[in-house]
Amino acid sequence: MKAKINLLISTLVLTGVLTCAATSTAPSITVSPMSQTVLSGNSVIFSVTATGTSLQYQWTYNGDIIPGATSPTLSLNNVTAQSCGAYQVIVFNDGGGVKSARATLQVITPLLPFADNFANRGSISAVSGSGYGTSLTATTEANDPKPCNPRVGRSVWLTWVAPASGVAHFDTIGSAFDTVLGVYTGTALTNLVAVATDDDSGEYHTSYVTFNVTAGTAYQIYVGSLDQNGGTILMSWDLLVTTYSLPTITSRPTNLTTLPGAAASLCVQYTSSKTLTLQWYHNGVAIPNATGTCLSWTKLTEADLGTYQVAFACPAWTWFVDPVEIQFNSAGITTACARNKLF
């Protein structure tokens, strides 16, 4: 998180928001925003007091810029559990920049029985719900699965016993740190089988998974941290009781970096016990007549660049496979994919 904020300040310098010749008194924060715990539906105001001249402000949520949040106060109306997280403000002028302390918003929800050690985990079985926990004092165990990233740490566990068969969704939206989410079957760290894992499919560095479940099966829920200290966890879940299972993806599309004018294709292969329909999307917009397992181009143009995603649908649900990107590299490098570090 610290590296992201420092990068933002550097980017502001490079883009000319901060001029090379400082003519203003460098900002200094005298009162940082304060953490708050409120009921769902309440309004929340975070504020900062700073000294300096010609001050400018940029609020962040879990380390990412909040578009348009550029005043000394940040107002949140009708907050829900998904509003939870870490809020921070960067104050800057042409004399420099400084970031405030992080303020955590917690909306009152039930305490979930997370445990640091797998053997001590608690159990839940509700069809749907939300609740909170913390990984601030959590550690890691020798056989922790470390999903998505080998650096993940500060892990906690709980068990969810599926009350019916269908399609379940779990997310950590509203958590106050960079989460990694894993779902497993098994009774010990040495015999876990991965069901679903995710890093960053939720907004602002949170996680989101959807997976098939069988009634009575115990699913081990893992929440790890890619921040040094972990933090407050907000977890929500629900179960759609249906006989339509998600397909099993046997081959999924991957990011593509290539030369202008090159031929290309994106394909997905799957198995399913039910008849499903497919639809491809480009930058969030459905592509007309793109309902097969592959998209193909004889010559890519700039108009073809961007994000692609395929959705499966049935009478009970619509499910999107993880998005991929097509990019150009004029040097012909095909093994790298560029990413924006900031909004």
- In this prediction, residue 4 carries a pLDDT of 37
CATH classification of the domain holding 35: 2.60.40.10
Q: 84, 107, 130: which is the final residue of a domain?
A: 107
Q: Which pTM was predicted?
A: 0.78
The low-confidence residues of the chain, meaning pLDDT below 70, are 1-23, 340-343
- In this prediction, residue 204 carries a pLDDT of 87
Q: Are residues 123 and 198 in the same domain?
A: yes
Burial call 179-198: b when 16+ CB within 10 Å, e when fewer: bbbbbbebeebeebeebbbb
- In this prediction, residue 22 carries a pLDDT of 54
Q: 186, 206, 241: which is the final residue of a domain?
A: 241
Q: Are residues 131 and 224 in the same domain?
A: yes
**pLDDT tens column, 131-162:** 999 999 999 999 999 999 999 999 999 999 99
- In this prediction, residue 202 carries a pLDDT of 87
| Per-position DSSP letters for 20-74, written without gaps between them | SS--SPPPEEEE----EEE-TT--EEEE-EEESSS-EEEEEETTEE-TT--SSEE
- In this prediction, residue 32 carries a pLDDT of 95
- In this prediction, residue 24 carries a pLDDT of 74
Distances (CA, A) of 193 to 174, 190, 196, 243: 27, 9, 9, 23
Q: 107, 135, 156: which is the final residue of a domain?
A: 107
- In this prediction, residue 340 carries a pLDDT of 63
Instruction: For the chain, give the longest Cα–Cα distance.
Output: 68
